[in-house]
Structure 1
Amino acid sequence: MPIVVLSLLIQIALVIHIVKTGRNKTWIWLVMILPVAGAVAYVVLELLPDFAGTRSGRKTLRTVQDLVNPDRDLKSAAQDYEIAKTTENAQRLAQELLLKEQYTEAALLYKNCLKGLHEFDPLFMYGLAQAEFGLGNFSAVKELLDQLIAKNPDYKNPDAHLLYARVLESLDDTQAALHEFEVLDSYYPGAEASYHFAKLLQKLGQTERALKVFEAILAKAKTSGSYYNEIHGKWIKLTALELRR
Structure 2
Amino acid sequence: MQFFGIGIHVLIAVFFAIHVVRTGQNMYWLAILFMFPLLGSLVYGIAIYLPSTRIQYGAKKVISVAGKILDPNRELREAREAFNYTPTAQNQMRLAAALLAAGQSQDSAQNYEACLQGPFAGDPAIRLGAAQANFACQRYDACIDHLHTLRERTPNYAPEVVSLLMARTLAAAGKEQDARSEFEFALQKYGSFDARAEYAIWAIGIGDKETALRLKLDLDQTINRWNKHNIELNAVMLGRLKNAFSM
TM (norm. structure 1) is 0.70
State whether residues 204 and 245 of structure 2, in contact with CA within 8 Å, keep that contact through their aligned partners in structure 1: no
Determine if the alignment matches structure 1 residue 229 to structure 2 residue 235: no
Alignment equivalent of 1:213, drawn from 215, 219, 236? 215
Residue equivalent to 1:99:
101
Measure the CA separation in 1 of the matches of 2:177 and 2:104.
Answer: 31
1:224 corresponds to which letter in structure 2?
A: W
Is the contact between residue 183 and residue 199 of structure 2 (CA under 8 Å) also seen in structure 1?
yes
Alpha-carbon separation, structure 1, partners of 2:118 and 2:53 = 46
Task: Provide closer, same or farther for how the CA distance between residues 149 and 242 of structure 1 changes in structure 2, counting only shifts above 3 A.
Answer: closer
Structure 1 residue identity aligned to 2:153: K
CA-to-aligned-CA distance 1:102-143 (integer Å, 9 cap, x gap): 112211211221124322322111111111111111111112
SS at match of 1:223: coil
- Deviations for 1:166-212, whole angstroms, at most 9, x for unmatched residues? 11111221121112112323426543x32231133224443122112
Q: Tell me how far 1:230 sits from its aligned partner.
A: 1.0
Residue 104 and residue 243 in structure 1: after superposition, are their counterparts in 2 closer, same or farther (change >3 A)? closer
Is the CA contact 2:112–2:129 (under 8 Å) kept in the aligned structure 1? yes
Say if 1:57 and 1:171 are closer, same or farther in 2 by CA, change over 3 A. same
**8 Å contact 1:218–1:240 — kept in the other structure?**
no
Q: CA deviation at 1:241?
A: 5.4
Aligned to 2:132: 130
CA contact (8 A) 2:205 2:244 kept: no
In structure 2, the residue matched to 1:112 is 114
Map 1:45-84 onto structure 2 (within 5 A): 53-84=55-86
**Residue 81 of structure 1 contacts residue 93 of structure 1 at CA under 8 Å; is this kept in 2?**
yes
2:178 paired residue number: 176
8 A contact 1:168–1:176 mirrored in 2: yes
Runs of 5+ in structure 2 lacking a partner?
Answer: 1-50
2:204 is aligned to 202
Alignment partner of 1:234: what SS?
A: helix
Matched residue count: 196
Which segments of 5 or more consecutive residues in structure 1 lack a partner in the other structure? 1-48
Alignment counterpart, residue 159 of structure 2, candidates 154, 157, 160 = 157
Are the aligned partners of 1:190 and 1:232 in contact in 2 as well (CA < 8 Å)?
no
Task: Give 1:148's match in structure 2, choosing from 125, 147, 150.
Answer: 150
Q: More deviation in 161-170 or 83-92? A: 83-92
- Describe the shift of the 1:86–1:190 C-alpha distance in structure 2 as closer, same or farther (beyond 3 A): farther
**Structure 2 counterpart of 1:175, one-letter code:** Q
* Residues 163 and 233 of structure 1, relative CA distance in 2, 3 Å threshold: same
> Contact between 1:132 and 1:140, CA under 8 Å: does it hold in 2?
yes
Check whether the contact 1:91–1:110 (CA below 8 A) recurs between aligned residues. Answer: yes
Secondary structure of the equivalent of 2:174?
coil
SS of structure 2 residue aligned to 1:117: coil
Identity %: 25
- Name 1:46's counterpart in structure 2: none
User: Which is worse superposed, 155-164 or 92-101?
Assistant: 155-164
Give, as a single letter, the amino acid of the residue that structure 2 aligns with 1:218: D
